[in-house]
Amino acid sequence: MKTLINILLLISCLGCSSPFSPKTQAMPKNLEESISYLKIEWTSSELNSFKTKSEQKAVAEAHFGAGFWIRNNWIRGNRNVPLAKYFRSLGINHPDDMSSIILRSLHRRLNSKKIGVNEQVEEYKVYLKTTRECEEKVALIAVKNYNRFKEGDHISIYMHIDNTEGSRNAVVLSCPNVYWKFDPQTDLLIKGYCCEKV
């Protein structure tokens, strides 16, 4: 019991010590207010570190830090209905996309670049449409493959190997990038048989 209490205290203290916890301002209602909020709440060191990275790297690295905080404190659970409504009015419904647009826009503002919110929104819409179409195709292929094999059939499973930083891990590719060409020198081939269909 004492261990459980200590763990709960640690978790609550970690939540309190987040560098992204709010200090003084009301929650933002739109993109401009979100940018202003972060510019005030982040330290000059945090802003400079974020600014000097490439846009893609800055946003990717912030996804599970500041982006996580934005999603959990401003977007999820109807915590900030005006901000969520603002993004939904643009056609952006996923919290990850909302936080990424906020972070990308902050990076562009810090670097005196045009925010281009309409262009950002269009990129997400195109990506979402492409992903949905890919998922529909993959689902049809999965059903076709499932129906093609019977118990006792020999099967071959081809898996892509990610050689990033020498990791050599087999990865399951997700939409919209599921197609790749098998390389017998680097990729994985598993052979077996179908012993049972469920």
Tens-digit pLDDT profile for residues 41-76: 999 999 999 999 999 999 999 999 999 999 999 998
Tens digit of pLDDT for each residue in 124-183?
A: 999 999 999 999 999 999 999 899 999 999 999 999 998 777 777 888 888 888 888 999
Instruction: State the pairing for strand pair 169-171/154-162.
Output: antiparallel
Which residues make Cβ contacts (< 8 Å) with residue 182, sequence separation at least 6? 158, 189
Q: pLDDT tens-digit profile of 92-125?
A: 999 999 999 999 999 999 999 999 999 999 999 9
Report residue 63: phi and psi, to 5°. Answer: -55, -45
Distance separating alpha carbons of residues 192 and 154, to the nearest angstrom: 6
Asked if 124 contacts 131 with a C-beta cutoff of 8 angstroms, the reply is no
d(CA 23, CA 126): 37
What pTM value is reported for the model?
A: 0.68
Q: Where are the domains of the chain?
A: 21-148, 151-198
Longest pairwise C-alpha distance within the chain? 66
Which residues, other chains included, contact 89 with Cβ-Cβ below 8 Å and sequence gap of 6+? none
